[in-house]
Amino acid sequence: MLRSMYSGISGLKNFQTKLDVIGNNISNVNTYGFKKGRVVFKDLISQTTAGSTAPSATRGGVNAKQVGLGSQIAAIDTISTTGALQSTGRVLDLAVSGDGYFRVAPQSGSTDISYTRAGNFYMDAMGDIVTADGMYLLDASGAKINVPTTSQSMSIGQDGTVNIVAADGTLSSAQKISLAKFPNSEGLEKVGSNYFKQSPASGAPNADVTAQTGGKGAIQSGFLEMSNVDLSEEFTDMIVAQRGFQANSRIITTSDEILQELVNLKR
């Protein structure tokens, strides 16, 4: 069989994966805190038909003769650039201006911590601040943040401090929203529902989980971080992937026509 046919097959598979990633990016263009993906290719292997030779006193050197055997996926990256901040004016809509992830867990003191950039938080019937899925927003000690239901008002500072005005007018600022920062945030594992998990590639989060320290950004109350997907870029990549898919399919059909000509040599 022709080597070009199998090279074309590898290209079809890779461009299909690229289209899958682009489709996921576009479907999440309005997902708060979403981080887009990117597919990177690399060549598969090259078959050496003749080796290289060094120059001699009577003849110059000769380069090796190699035939490539296709392509493969080098990486599927997560691009963790900050998306645009959208103003909402709602106190519990939070965005991180800079690096850092909100820490959330299914219960107070849990070690099963998830991380998110989606800051659309809510208050449940007990006054606890939770995500849309009911995960508790955590402070530095891993405890959930509670706002008494009898409070007059509340506000959140850029360092994560939760300022609560009680029913008697006294001000409390004891609770503080925590942020996690990782050595390699692009190595975090996506687990769905806007959540990330620590992975061996991401490394462990910094011990200091205070906002505006250790390279972490500020918490902006009344804002939400939009997806960092650029539709114009995604549609351009889609055109490139579509043409690449078509070109590789043409390689297969052309190789098939050559094989047909070989078969027809014997009539």
- Residue-wise pLDDT tens digits, 57-113: 888 999 999 898 999 999 999 999 999 999 999 999 999 999 999 999 998 878 899
Residues 236, 145 share a domain: no
Residues 99, 175 share a domain: yes
As beta bridge partners, residue 13 has none
Domain hosting 29: range is 3-49+63-80+229-264
Hey, what's the torsion of the CAs at 242, 246, 252, 255, to 10 degrees?
A: -140
Residues 101, 22 share a domain: no
| Within-domain flag for 55 | no
Predicted confidence at residue 267, as pLDDT, reads 66
What's the pTM?
0.87
Predicted confidence at residue 227, as pLDDT, reads 96
Residues 179, 107 share a domain: yes
Residues 234, 179 share a domain: no
Per the structure, how many domains does the chain have? 2
**Cα(50)–Cα(31) distance, rounded to whole angstroms?**
53
As beta bridge partners, residue 39 has 76
| Within-domain flag for 27 | yes
Predicted confidence at residue 176, as pLDDT, reads 94
**Cα(127)–Cα(148) distance, rounded to whole angstroms?**
6
Residues 7, 123 share a domain: no
List the one residue out of 90, 104, 120 whose CA is nearest residue 195: 104
Q: What's the gap between Cα 65 and its chain centre? A: 40
Residues 194, 248 share a domain: no
CB 5 within 8 A of CB 201: no
* Buried residues in 147-169 as b, exposed as e (16+ CB within 10 A): beeeeeebebbeebbbebeeeee
Low-confidence ranges of the chain (pLDDT < 70): 1, 267
Residues 109, 39 share a domain: no
**Cα(162)–Cα(38) distance, rounded to whole angstroms?**
37
Residues 202, 124 share a domain: yes
| Within-domain flag for 57 | no
Residues 159, 36 share a domain: no
| Within-domain flag for 56 | no
**Cα(80)–Cα(75) distance, rounded to whole angstroms?**
15
**Cα(199)–Cα(220) distance, rounded to whole angstroms?**
27
Residues 7, 91 share a domain: no
Residues 218, 110 share a domain: yes
| Within-domain flag for 250 | yes
